[in-house]
Each structure stands twice: as structure tokens, then as C-alpha cells.
Amino acid sequence: MLELCPVGSKTDRPCPRLATTEPQGRERGGRKLCEVHAALKPLEEEIEDLGAAEELLEGWIEEARRLDNASLEMVLRHAREEMSARLEFLEEGVDAVHTTQR
């Protein structure tokens, strides 16, 4: 029996597509989603992971500054900039898909 995609089911804007695809990423084996939301799931998980990593990097940058280790601080700042750029790219892409799906 086919069901509707569960994304947004508890809101006034539920996904109108059929749930036909197994989710990827950490939710493998979970409830089926539509193809669009199943494809977005790994990207949304990467966004969560990058956000957590950014927070950790901030702490490490502060520690490098406390230790007066300019080289380490520079490397960590560079890593944070790269992560921030990737995070922004993913968030814009996911938001664009959500916007066009409404």
C-alpha cells in the first residue's frame, strides 16, 4: 500500500508526493520518503554535522589562541572558513529545493 511522504505531515503544508524511497544516511531502514526528501536527507545530515564541527572548531581556535600558537590558529581558521562555505552552499541548496517544492 502506498502512503504519502511523512515530511511535514504534522504541519499545514505536508509533502504531497508518494513515499516510495528508502531514506539514505543515518536513517537507513526508516520510514519511506518521497524521492526528493530521500535525496535531501544525507545533505541535511551533513548540514547538522558541519554545524557541530564549526562549534568544535571555535573552541579549538580559542585554545590555539590561549596557547599562543599562531600556526595552529591559522590552520583552524582556514578549516572553519572552508566548512562555513560548504555549510552555506548546502543550506542554500536545500532551502532552494524546499522553496520550489511548495
CA distance 17 to 19: 7
The answer to whether the beta carbons of residues 28 and 17 sit under 8 Å apart is no
The answer to whether the beta carbons of residues 83 and 50 sit under 8 Å apart is yes
Which residue type, as a one-letter code, is found at position 16?
P
pLDDT in tens, 27-55: 666 789 999 988 898 999 999 999 999 99
Choose among 48, 44, 11, 18: nearest CA to 33: 18
The answer to whether the beta carbons of residues 15 and 7 sit under 8 Å apart is yes
pLDDT in tens, 85-102: 999 999 999 988 877 765
